[in-house]
Chain A
Amino acid sequence: MTVPAGGPTARILDRGYRPYDGPRTGARGAMRSLIRHSVQRVLGLKRNVWTKVLPFLTIFFAYVPAIVFVGVAVLLKDRFATEGVNINDVLPSYGEYYLFIWAAIQVFAAFCAPEVLCTDRRTGMLGLYLASPLRRDTYLVAKAAAVGLVLSIVTLGPPLFMLIARAIAGVGPDGVGGFVAVLWRVVVAGAIAAVLPVAMTLAIASTTTRRAAASAAFILISLGSIVVTEALINAGGSKTLFVFDLPYLPIELVGRLFGEPAGKIGSSSATVPTSSLVIAYLVITVGCALFVRTRYQRIQVTR
Chain B
Amino acid sequence: MSATTGVRPTKGYLMEMKRRIGFIERGTEFLKLKRDHLAKELTTSIDVLKGRRSKLLEDLRIAYRAVTAAYISLGPTEVKSQASSIKSRLELEVLPRSVMGVRYPYIKVEKEPQITGELDITLSEAAEKVLGILDDILQLAEFEARAERIADELGKTNRKVNALENTIIPSYRQVIKFIEDKLDEESLEELVRMKLIGGALARRRE
Question: Do the two chains bind?
Answer: no
The residues of B with any CB-CB pair to A shorter than 8 Å are: none
A residues bordering B, Cβ < 8 Å? none
